[in-house]
Amino acid sequence: MTELSLEITRHIPHPPERVFDAWLDPKMLAKFMVPGPGVTIPEAKVDATVGGQFLIMMRVPEAGDLPHTGEYRVIDRANQLAFTWVSHNSAEDSIVTLNFAPKDGGTDLTLRHVRFPSEQSRDDHTGGWTRILDALAGLEVTA
């Protein structure tokens, strides 16, 4: 059996340092961590240290508040960020890795998420992460 995973790459029109920092800024996370229509982020907390935890509370229409938590495994500013991903729709030891590469005055951001309990979960996450990266690409990422 192969491990279910997904990989998405987006060009973000901001330098790698600013894109990287957005992932560790609770105010910025609340703006772009919206995996679907009508989803809001009423709460985001970040302990931006290796071993530190995060909480992203997603308020989903017709489903209520769904916590998404994890622990930072790698924090290599402007290069790589890796963290566990714990949600109602994820597998144990699910890991998200973000790689940041400077390109054309912006950043090529590659998101790889591994370990899903089912193909449906992977497909749902593919849609969610795609919308999240699109939202990030459309933001004015502050320094």
The pair of structure tokens assigned to 85 is: 């991903």
- Partner residues linked to 75 by β-bridges: 81
99: left (phi over 0), alpha (psi -120 to 50) or beta: beta
The pLDDT value recorded for residue 143 is 52
pLDDT of residue 93: 87
Task: Going residue by residue through the chain, which has 143 residues, state the pLDDT in tens, using 9 for 90 and above.
Answer: 458 999 999 999 999 999 999 999 999 999 999 999 999 999 999 999 999 999 999 999 989 999 999 999 999 999 999 999 999 888 888 999 999 999 999 999 999 999 999 999 999 999 999 999 999 999 876 65
Q: How many CA atoms lie within 13 A of 82 on its CB side?
A: 12
Residue 33: both structure tokens together: 């961590």
What is the model's pLDDT at position 3? 87
Exposed, middle or buried by CB within 10 Å (0-12, 13-18, 19+), for 49?
exposed
Q: Report the sign of the C-alpha dihedral through residues 81, 85, 7, 116, in that order.
A: positive
Task: Provide the β-strand partners of residue 58.
Answer: 66
Calpha distance 23→1 (Å, rounded): 32
Closest CA to 102 of 94, 92, 110, 114: 110
34: its two tokens: 């919206």
Q: What is the pLDDT of residue 1?
A: 41
Answer yes or no: CATH 3.40.50.970 is held by domain 5-138.
no
Between CA 79 and CA 101 the distance in angstroms is 7
pLDDT of res. 99 = 98
